[in-house]
Amino acid sequence: MTSSSYFFSVAFVVLMLSQLFMAYKTSKIESPSYKVIKSFEDFEIRNYDAMVVAKTEIRSEAYEESSSSGFRTIANYIFGGNKENQQIAMTSPVIMEMGEKSSMSFVMPEEHAIENLPEPNSKNVEIIQIQPKTYAVLEFTGYANDKKIKKHTKRLLQFMKAENLMPIGTIKYLGYNPPWQVLGRKNEVAVEVDYSNP
């Protein structure tokens, strides 16, 4: 084995190990609590507990056009861009609501009640309480883009129609991984649904 091939072999192993470690660390990040109440072949119905989110409106429902600016706005808040210069732990997923009034939200850690969260410095960040809701959710892997989100949104709505389930409101995209994570990427599309478990 030449020195160059040895170097690339070692670099590849290090890269794979770092990606596996990153996937493990990402899986340990706090996420909103929910209960699966029905699993279908291609999607599932979940009951989500109440949650507090930091939310900002974004210019467009296009993921690729607005995700970076929305992320920066809320990331600034949790990294100390608030009246108390307080840092708040990152959770997953990042939630992007797709519709006429598009928005991006970070879920606040459960340890923070809404009344105890610091006021944002930016007028573009709003702290709100979301009541418990039921969602139909479809998972997909890899890097997300507008084409994939539309494709899987269409699939979810088709699967729901086949089960006589009506969506409520707009589609949400849920992203769980940082952009530098290659392996073990997880994405979801979700929509609120009125569902009574038979």
Q: What is the pLDDT tens value at each position of the chain, 198 positions in all?
A: 566 665 555 444 444 444 444 444 455 589 999 999 999 999 999 999 999 999 999 877 777 777 788 899 999 999 999 999 999 999 999 999 987 788 999 999 999 999 999 999 999 999 999 999 999 999 999 999 999 999 999 999 999 999 999 999 999 999 998 877 888 889 999 999 998 765
How far is it, in rounded angstroms, from Cα 69 to Cα 73?
6
Please check whether residue 161 lies inside any domain of the structure.
yes
Pinpoint the alpha helices (H) of 30-179. 63-78, 146-162
Please check whether residue 55 lies inside any domain of the structure.
yes
Domain that holds residue 53: 3-193
Which amino acid, residue 81? Answer: G
What CATH number is given to the structural domain containing 150? 3.20.80.10
Please check whether residue 116 lies inside any domain of the structure.
yes
Domains: count for the chain: 1
Please check whether residue 155 lies inside any domain of the structure.
yes
For residue 175, give Cα distances in angstroms to 38, 51, 54, 151, 158: 22, 17, 15, 16, 22
Please check whether residue 198 lies inside any domain of the structure.
no
Please check whether residue 105 lies inside any domain of the structure.
yes
Please check whether residue 151 lies inside any domain of the structure.
yes
Please check whether residue 111 lies inside any domain of the structure.
yes
- Give pTM, 2 decimals: 0.83
